[in-house]
Structure 1
Amino acid sequence: MTPVIGILSPGSMGSAIGASLRSGGVRAVTTVAGRSERSARFAADAGLELAEDVDALVRAADLILSVVPPSSARQVAQDLNASFARVGRRPLVADLNATSPATVAEIGSSLELIDGTISGPPPRPDGETRIYLSGPRAEMLASVEAPGIRWIVVGPEVGSASAVKMCTASVYKGMSALLAHAFLTAEHHGVAAHVLADVQQLTPEALRQPIQAATKAWRFIGEMEQIAQTQKDAGLTPALFDAIRDVYTELASSAWGERNPEDVPATLDLSALKDLHPR
């Protein structure tokens, strides 16, 4: 039987996952209680069924997906445990957040947990967003039809999927931070056009990449801390991603950091850099 799936929370990513699940015939439920108008709009656009609050969501769902900023992952787990106690049932939880293996193990100590991580943009019908899964119940979620999502089971251990995310995110988000610093430094020296032309041979989206990242920089700060911890736990220096966390802290204070990803225009030129400077 296809499970009823609850989603916390219905932001850009969570709502898009919900829409993919609905396309696969799944009953997808969320709640917008306490959420922003933007999140409520995403949920409505995705056609998600709305529950009155978290307790109502827990009553309805067989499986709950946690899709929140890394800094909120522990709090969501605590809120779910409190709701489980009030409602008297304990649905399975899939933590799809960008957290370290150590953090997800901590969260899993009080929940029946699927470890999961998302790689790629919010899913869409013509795309293939990858969601890595691990843990004893991972196959249960991987069997759910969701057009636009490719479920990839890493293994039976909680923490393995999160390890994948910490490594891939270190490359993708590390590159965006490097590009931001390179372009701002180049602008200072009056050579930004030459640097952009050169770097575009490596990645055609070289200018868009740091601009888009800046609009989500507030969310990435906690993720960089999780990456630094993961690398430290592997016996490596955390200094690299401690520094990249600082880059995202600065980008979050820029004019682009106050905007949303959908605010980035289809075409960009070097004038966009003026709004990338930290304030």
Structure 2
Amino acid sequence: MAAGRTVTLGIVSPGAMGSALGRTWAAEGHRVVATVAGRSERTRGLATGLELLPDLDAVVATSDVVVSICPPSAAEDVLTDVLAAAARTDASPVLLDANALAPDVVATLAARASTAGLALVDGSVSGGPPSPDGDTVLYLSGPRADEIASLAARHLRRRVVGPRVGQASAVKMCTASVYKGTTAIWAQALESAEALGVLDVVLHDLGEEFPQQVAGAGRRIAVATAKSDRFIAEMEHIARTQAGAGTSPELFEGMAAVYRRLAATPLAASSPEEAAALTDLREVLSRLV
């Protein structure tokens, strides 16, 4: 791909983040395609602004770049499906894996892609879905990372962090350990405080040091709970990453247990959009029982 050239990008799958990424590229004149075959009505709604094709074969055959952005537990199956579609259609797109995976896992995926004759770029997203008032960064690594970074994308900063597949994922594993790990700590602490009858005192104490975090605790915990099912695997990948780095995996094995418990609560049945409307902390905590 030559720098500055208009390309076709295929989004697999067009959820909240994938669709938003697609629209950032489309806003700069790139063609962005996806399929919602077999997907939920929510996903169909989120895919607004993308060119919808009938199936994955059509997406892969049409695309210069295929972007995989899905729950980490599905990443290997998505790659299998994309490689099969490429073989059926004799296509050879560049693959961008933008999932929350441990570096050694994405390296394994890259090796599988290479065996099939396709190049895989390692990517990770920091921040929420790209928006005019947000700050979203796409970290990239691997031999062809510069090609993806050169694609104009509105409201999306692109940063190449190194030449090796796995380096962009390593960034995600480290930053997510702070962002999502602290959310799990807030949930544990405030649920415990409520159960023990000391929530007001705990909030007052924490509010002196973390006023903004206390003010937004209800919404933050609610949104994380709505996404908790996918966060379980992400915490497990963080634990795997930390073990590989020579640090202790036990902390994030515990964080996975927190999100596994949250995923079993009534609040977990909410969509992220519904959860984002919940701001009353006590209401949120009551729905975690």
TM-score normalised to the size of structure 2? 0.92
1:170 equivalent in structure 2: 177
Which 5+ residue runs of structure 1 have no aligned equivalent?
none
Task: State which of 246, 249, 261 in structure 1 corresponds to 2:257.
Answer: 246
For residues 240 and 169 of structure 2, the distance between their equivalents in structure 1, rounded to whole angstroms, comes to: 12
Task: State which of 259, 274, 281 in structure 2 corresponds to 1:263.
Answer: 274
1:127, distance to aligned residue in structure 2 (A): 1.8
For residues 184 and 267 of structure 1, the distance between their equivalents in structure 2, rounded to whole angstroms, comes to: 15
In 2, are the aligned partners of 1:101 and 1:163 still within 8 Å (CA)? yes
AA matched with 2:34: T
For residues 239 and 266 of structure 1, the distance between their equivalents in structure 2, rounded to whole angstroms, comes to: 32
Task: State which of 235, 255, 270 in structure 1 corresponds to 2:246.
Answer: 235
1:42 equivalent in structure 2: 46
Task: State which of 50, 69, 72 in structure 1 corresponds to 2:71.
Answer: 69
Answer yes or no: is 1:133 the counterpart of 2:136.
Answer: no
Answer yes or no: is 1:274 the counterpart of 2:251.
Answer: no
User: Which region of structure 1 is more displaced relative to structure 2, 207-216 or 259-268?
Assistant: 259-268
In 1, are the aligned partners of 2:161 and 2:168 still within 8 Å (CA)? yes
In 2, are the aligned partners of 1:20 and 1:125 still within 8 Å (CA)? no
1:11, distance to aligned residue in structure 2 (A): 0.5
For residues 3 and 156 of structure 1, the distance between their equivalents in structure 2, rounded to whole angstroms, comes to: 23
For residues 177 and 199 of structure 1, the distance between their equivalents in structure 2, rounded to whole angstroms, comes to: 16
1:154 equivalent in structure 2: 161
For residues 16 and 50 of structure 2, the distance between their equivalents in structure 1, rounded to whole angstroms, comes to: 13
Answer yes or no: is 1:116 the counterpart of 2:123.
Answer: yes
Which 5+ residue runs of structure 2 have no aligned equivalent?
114-118
Residues 208-259 of structure 1, C-alpha deviations (whole Å, 9 max, x = no match): 2222100100010110110010011111221111111010000011111111
Moved over 6 A (4+): none
AA matched with 2:97: D
TM-score normalised to the size of structure 1? 0.95
Give 1:24-43 correspondences, 5 Å limit.
Answer: 24-43=28-47
Answer yes or no: is 1:20 the counterpart of 2:24.
Answer: yes
Q: SS of 2:140's equivalent?
A: strand
1:266, distance to aligned residue in structure 2 (A): 5.6
Task: State which of 173, 176, 194 in structure 1 corresponds to 2:201.
Answer: 194
Q: Structure 1 residues 266 and 218 mapped into 2: Cα distance closer, same or farther (>3 Å)?
A: closer
In 1, are the aligned partners of 2:122 and 2:145 still within 8 Å (CA)? yes
For residues 107 and 71 of structure 1, the distance between their equivalents in structure 2, rounded to whole angstroms, comes to: 13
1:113, distance to aligned residue in structure 2 (A): 0.6
2:102 equivalent in structure 1: 100
Aligned residues: 275
In 2, are the aligned partners of 1:196 and 1:206 still within 8 Å (CA)? no
